[in-house]
Structure 1
């Protein structure tokens, strides 16, 4: 009986196909996107609210220069929020990219976190019901480093929509670039430590519900175009 190589195993084969499709989409996006884009206004992320529906900022970190050289974001935010009476902190990270026409694009946390020493334990998606409007789907990711575990929620937020899938984000990038002549996007990531007695899932989802409307009002929108 022929031996099955690691690459041919179902899980790895699926990952290889996904990666190949993602690379094809990236190449298509780069060649199909208009090279001249519409201008738009963008507020500095440092102006993002320090208090959000009961959560208060308790730390505001600068992005490490070495990380920024790899990230290549036009603006970024890295804060920790805490709700009074809750033991669970929420790390909010936002990376804003003004244009993706030069090949600069968000790095998926599924690639970045393992590179930082986090081992993936579980991944999927979760729907978040917003106070107004239809629910949005975001990525749900559990990682571990040593004995510590963390719950990660992340998504891609463009002027037109919120997308969980990296593959779908690339497809929408092409469509929206052709339609709106804009390719700006933001990666939004929430990290909540899964400590004993701390309601990580509850806090992450509640904070996401609170922060999404703020981000929708703060990040560039379609009507911000010039």
Structure 2
């Protein structure tokens, strides 16, 4: 089944107070492994503070021949160590609650805070297994087999920066949720 959606090339130049930079291309070898039908990767900057958040979106039209790759596999493959990983209620989604993955990753002295989740036809989940079950239900119910992953990352500048890192991801997350249905169809 063909799903009507806007390509990520039309992603807005700003999301709330966050300005998007130019879309970054992935290394061709990573693109091949990712095998997404469409993806978007950019560094976003807060208009007044200059703080940064990395945004990555990947959409798959058909999951029958592979599909969404969990950051739990991809990040270590890129040299990042997952120092902490938990599922939490999305702090920025009080109106439409869902669970997301919250991770702290590190490489040498660099630490980052990561939020990521899977999206299938209007359903959001932190669990890869739940995402696969939702995908199967969608395939049976309406013939759709599309899925996506949303990942946002921000630096943790020091021992006392965790509240600021959380605030950055929550701020962009609130505004990002409203943009997603154009690119990751929920119906």
Do both share a fold (TM > 0.5)? yes
Q: Are 1:76 and 2:43 an aligned pair?
A: no
State the secondary structure of the residue aligned to 1:219.
Answer: coil
* Residues 1:205 and 2:170 are matched in the alignment: yes
CA distance, structure 2, for counterparts of residue 221 and residue 168 of structure 1: 17
Question: Is 1:110–2:75 an aligned residue pair?
Answer: no
Task: Tell me the residue number matched to 1:165.
Answer: 127
The structure where helix makes up a greater share of residues is 1
Take 2:184 and 2:50, find their aligned partners in 1: how far apart are those partners? 29
State the structure with more CA Rg.
1
Aligned residues of 2:6 and 2:182 also touching (Cα < 8 A) = no
Q: Is the 8 A contact 1:88 1:200 kept in 2?
A: no
In structure 2, runs of 5+ residues without a counterpart are: none
Q: Any runs of at least 4 consecutive aligned residues in structure 1 with deviations exceeding 6 A, and if so which?
A: none
Q: Is the CA contact (8 Å cut-off) linking 1:46 and 1:77 kept in structure 2? A: yes
Q: Could you tell me which runs of 5 or more consecutive residues in structure 1 were left unpaired when the two chains were aligned.
A: 1-37
Who is 1:92 aligned against? 55
- TM normalised by structure 2 equals 0.91
How many corresponding residue pairs?
184
Partner of 1:220: 185
Name the one with the larger strand percent.
2
Question: SS where residue 63 of structure 1 aligns?
Answer: coil
TM-superposed CA distance for 1:128, in Å, is 2.5
1:126 partnered with 2:88 = yes
Q: How far 1:101 moved relative to its partner? A: 1.8
Partner of 1:50: 13
After alignment, is 198-207 or 183-192 more displaced? 198-207
SS at match of 2:111: strand
- CA positional deviation for 1:207: 0.8
Distance of aligned partners of 1:200 and 1:131 in 2 relative to their CA distance in 1, 3 Å threshold: closer
1:107 to 1:136, Cα distance in 2 relative to 1, 3 A: same
CA distance in 2 between counterparts of 1:91 and 1:120 reads 17
Q: Which moved more, 1:172-181 or 1:57-66?
A: 57-66
Cα distance, 1:87 vs structure 2: 4.8
Deviation at 1:65, TM superposition (A): 1.0
